[in-house]
Amino acid sequence: MDLFEKKFSESMSSKVSLLNRITHYVVNRKGKQMRPMFVFLIAKMTGDGQVNERTYRGASVIELIHTATLVHDDVVDDSDRRRGFFSLNALWKNKIAVLVGDYLLSKGLLLSIDNGDFDLLRIISVAVREMSEGELLQIEKARRLDITEEVYFEIIRQKTATLIAACCAMGARSVMASDEEVEKMRKFGELIGTAFQIKDDLFDYGNEHIGKPTGIDIKEQKMTLPLIYALNNASPKESKWLINSVKNHNKDKQRVKEVIAFVKENGGLDYAVVKMKEYQQQALQLLETYPDSEYKESLILMVNYVIARKK
């Protein structure tokens, strides 16, 4: 990871001092860095413990694209904080934030093109397309709040799981694993990415110290799994009250508290936890065919961390 961070910083460099100042700010406020870890661990597990320059480039591309999407997300959501720090748009305004996001995106694509990593480029390009589609599907559904569990899982598969799936496919592909193995690792990433998003949804109902305040999804009219379950199992009267609350009273703190209490009392959280653990178990099953190694052990730890984390 130390060597990766050095290479990643180099991959961001520009002749424009303003850009360098901003990207330096971004690099120094990094998150958990789970995505590059997945790239390296999968590469080592599927490639006899070895990584190569392609693996480092693959991890850098993923992190560049991921950072670009976060910068753009903050503009879309009009958010002024990210991981406890000011977001780029809060410090440098939307126009600069959008341009920086575009710059990071193009840097990621060129890193692959300049080195002839067209197989890796294909993996990440599919992920970017799906992430955009997932975000737009969510916006479309938020307007009418007519989201089913099936649509919810499609949204989070595209929005969140697809990038972690790309990390895992990228790791395997970087060490020239077979097509079957690359697909298996992509599926592994998709499963764990889905569990990761359900865990994030659960944070919206918790009281623990986390990166976002409680009830934020309700305020943003996002239909999450606990809420969908509660809606599907509510009486017509309760259902009408819930939809009205989310649609028209989502800024009313007391009403949001009542919605959270209703979802908890009607088994929404318990149901989401069961679903999350199902995805976790399916992901762990895909690792069973691999011989024991420190890389496999680390991946198991990461899978378990995803659902046990506190923020």
Per-residue pLDDT tens for 160-216?
899 999 999 999 999 998 999 999 999 999 999 999 999 988 888 875 544 455 677
CATH of the domain at 289: 1.10.600.10
Q: Report the alpha-carbon distance of residue 91 to residue 97 in Å, rounded.
A: 9
In angstroms, what CA-CA distances link 18 with 29, 87, 96, 310?
Answer: 17, 16, 10, 35
For the chain, what is the domain count? 1
* Residue 40: both structure tokens together: 């390296």
- Element of type H or E holding 82: strand 81-82
In angstroms, what CA-CA distances link 82 with 16, 78, 101, 131?
Answer: 24, 11, 15, 19
Phi and psi at 86, nearest 5°, equal: -65, 140
| pLDDT computed for residue 81 by the predictor | 55
Q: Report the alpha-carbon distance of residue 240 to residue 25 in Å, rounded.
A: 46
Q: Report the alpha-carbon distance of residue 48 to residue 46 in Å, rounded.
A: 6
3-state secondary structure of 243: helix
This prediction has a pTM of: 0.86
| pLDDT computed for residue 114 by the predictor | 92
Domain that holds residue 300: 1-308
* Whether the Cβ atoms of residue 149 and residue 18 lie closer than 8 Å to each other: no
Mean pLDDT computed over every residue of the chain: 84
Q: Name the pLDDT band for 64 (thresholds 50, 70, 90).
A: confident
Residue with tokens 């007391």: 254
Q: Report the alpha-carbon distance of residue 199 to residue 304 in Å, rounded.
A: 12
DSSP 235: -
Lowest mean pLDDT of 57-61, 62-66, 138-142, 168-172, name the range. Answer: 138-142
Helix intervals (H) in the chain: 2-11, 17-27, 34-46, 53-76, 88-114, 118-144, 149-156, 162-174, 179-203, 216-219, 225-232, 236-248, 253-265, 268-287, 294-308
Quote the distance between the C-alpha of residue 104 and its chain's center: 17
Q: Report the alpha-carbon distance of residue 305 to residue 300 in Å, rounded.
A: 9
Per-residue pLDDT tens for 225-236?
999 999 888 898
| pLDDT computed for residue 193 by the predictor | 94
| pLDDT computed for residue 306 by the predictor | 85
| pLDDT computed for residue 194 by the predictor | 95
Q: Name the pLDDT band for 38 (thresholds 50, 70, 90).
A: very high
Task: Report, as an integer, the average pLDDT of 282-288.
Answer: 95
Q: Report the alpha-carbon distance of residue 222 to residue 246 in Å, rounded.
A: 9
Task: Report, as an integer, the average pLDDT of 51-63.
Answer: 90
Share of residues in the chain with pLDDT > 70 (%): 87
